[in-house]
């Protein structure tokens, strides 16, 4: 690379950095956040267009890319406040608790159905016990009658 190209490259980098810092300053001044694209991601194309440089400047390990990652965490984007690891942890925990609650509700519904079936079975068994006790009482009475009279009696 000759000296002319190196100077132009350095000037372009300086210009890009200046444009980016001006853009960030304007966002902060206006109280705005990074805008989102249709996929709900940060609109990198818009940032690059407003700053008058290619999107590749916002990726990788360059100075502008490092600033962009830092500023995204600090400023946040529209619709979503800047996230912290604590927010992610709490969000994951809430999702897990929701899944657990759903499982427990399903188990509860199953147990309620089983309980209702057992209650019905208990009622049926109680009625059978009463019927058998009545039959036993009749048989005892018939036996007493037979012992006293010597004849077999039938009770209905």
Residues 40 and 72 in one domain: yes
- Say yes or no: 64 and 90 in one domain: no
The whole-angstrom separation of Cα 35 and Cα 40 is 9
Q: Do residues 155 and 142 make contact, with C-beta atoms less than 8 angstroms apart? A: yes
- Mark whether 129 and 154 lie in a shared domain: yes
Give the per-residue pLDDT at 4. Answer: 77
Total length of the chain: 156
Domain range for 96 = 84-156
Q: Up-side HSE of residue 22: CA atoms within 13 Å toward CB?
A: 10
pLDDT value for 122: 96
Tokens of 73: 């965490």
Q: How many domains does the chain have?
A: 2
Tell me: the pLDDT tens digits for 75-115? 887 765 555 556 777 888 888 888 889 999 999 999 999 99
Rounded to 5°, the CA angle 146-147-151 comes to 30
Q: Which residues of the chain, if any, have pLDDT below 50?
A: none
């Amino acid at each position: 690379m000759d000296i002319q190209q190196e100077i132009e490259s350095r000037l372009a980098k300086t210009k890009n950095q200046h444009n980016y810092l001006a853009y960030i300053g304007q966002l902060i001044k206006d109280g705005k956040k990074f805008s989102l694209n249709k996929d709900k991601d940060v609109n990198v194309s818009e940032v690059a267009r407003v700053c008058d440089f290619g999107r590749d400047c916002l990726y990788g390990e360059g100075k502008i890319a490092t600033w962009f990652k830092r500023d995204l965490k600090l400023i946040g984007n529209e619709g979503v406040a800047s996230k912290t690891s604590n927010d992610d942890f709490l969000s994951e925990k809430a999702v897990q608790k929701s899944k657990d609650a759903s499982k427990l509700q399903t188990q509860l519904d199953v147990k309620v159905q089983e309980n209702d079936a057992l209650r019905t079975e208990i009622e049926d068994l109680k009625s059978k016990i009463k019927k058998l006790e009545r039959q036993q009482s009749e048989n005892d009475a018939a036996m007493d009658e037979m012992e006293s009279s010597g004849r077999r009696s039938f009770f209905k």
